[in-house]
């Protein structure tokens, strides 16, 4: 029997609230994109303090739309990080563009601005950055660089719902920010995502593209439900089936009621880890960028060369502590072999990093138990 029950991820679900929201959807008989999606969109717009938000069925769909709106096609290049989930990268591949791997900053896990600078060509249409573990990238430097070359900045904030930068939600800096509401994120819709667009033109186009190309806003009731006959509406650009449905939105609405407490717990647990690990030469917490206020989806540390990272990982898992690596570098997947390149800082990060559970389900005492068990292994 395992000593602890500390999973890496756990979904916060207020069952009664979720059932109330779902009951409203099921009793309405309208399960598709409608009133609950509109409410969820309005709630997200208010929470993020941003007018251009679009609920979708996944973060991958949000990334696909962002790339499409950036003009990415088979003749273009996208610069991105390998240290991420493959779901960040497949939209580039599926649009036929060339993947150009930038290296990362090993002390943050995030894309290196200096590496990006060296890789920009006339074919570069976008830079896609990822906020590892919820730690914001150097967004102002990336924004400035992209604007100087007239290319789009796309931010994968799948780990970073609730993260802030320079006193604002992280979605206020890139041309497009993509959030994930997949099953193990800070909040979940069962599955879902959100696209945040910096400008009104992209926002209007994205709203059509996520529903096959239909201008549904011109054909919906105040509750967000379809009116009239859709075959009476022209489609001037073929789109996708990326919209969120009312069932997913209802789950998301029930989650939003508790998000402040959830995020507070994540951040508090991170402070406990940071206080302890700051005095351990064998363990180096990641560096938070100036102006960054991370939501800490997980708590990632780098272990010294003298430490048996894989041995510690196995021992923690055997005890019931859900430590892990979260992702492996994508440039090592055989499906991306044509774009392979050497990424020394990415490789270093991958072989030295260890991610620890940091969520709302852990008490102060639980986090200290994890720390004590690690301390005994160092």
Both structure tokens of 225:
């439900």
Q: Is 377 left (phi over 0), alpha (psi -120 to 50) or beta?
A: alpha
Give φ, ψ of 71 to 5 degrees: 85, 20
Burial of 376 (0-12, 13-18, 19+ CB in 10 A): exposed
- Tell me the residue length of the chain: 378
Alpha-carbon distance of 7 to 321, in angstroms, equals: 6
Give φ, ψ of 304 to 5 degrees: -65, 155
The string of DSSP letters for 13-79 reads --HHHHHHHHHHHHHHT--SSSHHHHHHHHHHHHHHT-S-EEEES-HHHHHHHHHHHTT--TT-EEE
Alpha-carbon distance of 61 to 87, in angstroms, equals: 10
Alpha-carbon distance of 276 to 160, in angstroms, equals: 23
Pairing assessment for the beta strands 124-130 and 53-56 based on DSSP bridges: unpaired
The SS3 of residue 355 is strand
Domains of the chain, each with CATH number or no CATH:
15-102+110-256 (3.40.640.10), 259-377 (3.90.1150.10)
Burial of 22 (0-12, 13-18, 19+ CB in 10 A): middle
The SS3 of residue 300 is strand
Residues 6+ apart with CB under 8 A from 354: 300, 301, 302, 303, 309, 312, 313, 323, 325
Whole-model pTM: value is: 0.95
Range 221-255 burial, b when 16+ CB lie within 10 A, else e: eeebbbeeeeeeeeeeeebbebbbbbbbbbbbbbb
DSSP-assigned letter for residue 9: -
At residue 279, the pLDDT reads 87
How many Cα atoms are found within 13 Å in the side-chain-facing hemisphere of 166?
Answer: 9
Pairing assessment for the beta strands 176-180 and 152-156 based on DSSP bridges: parallel
Alpha-carbon distance of 193 to 244, in angstroms, equals: 8
Q: In which residue are the tokens 């549904």 written? A: 216
> What is the chain's Cα-based Rg?
21
Alpha-carbon distance of 180 to 326, in angstroms, equals: 15
Whether 35 and 222 have beta carbons less than 8 Å apart is answered as: no
Whether 262 and 187 have beta carbons less than 8 Å apart is answered as: yes
Whether 103 and 343 have beta carbons less than 8 Å apart is answered as: yes
At residue 224, the pLDDT reads 59
Q: Which long-range contacts (CB under 8 A, 24 or more apart) does 31-34 make?
A: 31/245, 31/246, 31/247, 32/243, 32/245, 32/246, 33/211, 33/216, 33/224, 33/243, 33/244, 33/245, 33/246, 34/223, 34/224, 34/225, 34/246
Residues lower than pLDDT 50 in the chain:
none
Closest residue by Cα to residue 77 from 96, 91, 59, 60: 96
């Amino acid at each position: 029997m395992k000593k602890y029950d500390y999973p890496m991820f756990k979904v916060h679900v207020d069952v009664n609230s979720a059932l109330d929201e779902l009951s409203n959807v099921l009793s309405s008989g309208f399960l598709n994109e409608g009133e609950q999606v509109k409410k969820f969109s309005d709630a997200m717009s208010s929470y993020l303090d941003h007018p251009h938000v679009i609920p979708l069925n996944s973060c991958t769909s949000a990334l696909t739309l962002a790339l499409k709106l950036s003009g990415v096609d088979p003749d273009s290049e996208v610069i991105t990080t390998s240290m991420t989930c493959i779901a960040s990268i497949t939209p580039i591949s599926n649009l036929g563009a060339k993947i150009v791997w930038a290296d990362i900053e090993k002390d943050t896990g995030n894309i290196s601005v200096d590496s990006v600078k060296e890789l920009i060509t006339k074919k570069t249409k976008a830079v896609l950055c990822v906020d590892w573990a919820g730690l914001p990238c150097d967004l102002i430097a990336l924004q400035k660089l992209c604007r100087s070359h007239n290319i789009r900045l796309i931010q994968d904030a799948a780990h970073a719902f609730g993260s802030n930068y320079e006193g604002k939600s992280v979605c206020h800096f890139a041309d497009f920010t993509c959030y994930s509401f997949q099953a193990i994120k800070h909040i979940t819709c069962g599955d879902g995502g959100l696209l945040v667009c910096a400008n009104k033109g992209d926002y209007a186009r994205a709203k059509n593209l996520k529903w096959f190309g239909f201008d549904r806003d011109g054909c919906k009731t105040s509750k967000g439900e379809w009116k009239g006959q859709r075959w009476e509406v022209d489609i001037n650009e073929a789109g996708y089936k990326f919209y969120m449905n009312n069932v997913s939105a209802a789950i998301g609405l029930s989650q939003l009621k508790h998000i402040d407490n959830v995020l507070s717990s994540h951040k508090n647990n991170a402070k406990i880890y940071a206080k302890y690990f700051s005095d351990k030469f064998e363990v180096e917490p990641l560096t938070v960028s100036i102006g960054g206020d991370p939501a800490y989806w997980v708590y990632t540390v780098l272990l010294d060369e003298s430490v048996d990272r894989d041995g510690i990982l196995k021992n923690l898992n055997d005890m019931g502590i859900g430590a892990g690596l979260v992702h492996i570098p994508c440039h090592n997947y055989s499906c991306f072999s044509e774009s392979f390149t050497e990424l020394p800082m990415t490789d270093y990060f991958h072989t030295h990093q260890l991610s620890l559970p940091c969520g709302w389900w852990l008490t102060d005492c639980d986090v200290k138990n994890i720390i004590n068990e690690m301390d005994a292994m160092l």
